[in-house]
Amino acid sequence: LGPSQSSPSTPQSSSTPSGSFLSVSLSSSDSDTSRQPKRIRCDEVLSSSAGDLIKQILQTKPGGTSILEEYEVTGTLSDGRRRQMVNILAAHMVETEG
């Protein structure tokens, strides 16, 4: 990285292979940014399916409905309810996954 960083400062290096490497590097970073929305959409899908799974688990477990009700009313959970939710979800994972 050191030599390539110093070579663009000299006018002669723009026609050298390191100059073409720099343009390839820029084009690859452009393609990385074009892939980013796909990752976001994938994360959104996973997030919504994870949310659906959590709702389903909480609806079937004792105490889960009170957690869902608090979240719907306030948009957040108190520390006690959050701990209760984590315990319910962890117990469910142990039951299903072992």
What's the pLDDT tens digit per position in 65-95? 999 999 999 999 999 999 999 999 999 999 9
Task: Kindly report whether the global pTM for this prediction surpasses the value 0.85.
Answer: no
Which structure tokens are listed for 16? 């050298």
| Confidence (pLDDT) at 72 | 92
Establish how many alpha carbons lie within 13 A of residue 83's alpha carbon, considering only the half-sphere containing its beta carbon. 3
pLDDT tens sequence across 23-53: 444 444 445 555 555 555 666 666 678 888 9
- The tokens for 42 are 């994938």
39, 48 contact by CB (below 8 A): no
What tokens does 51 get? 């949310």
CA pair distance 2, 23, nearest whole angstrom: 17
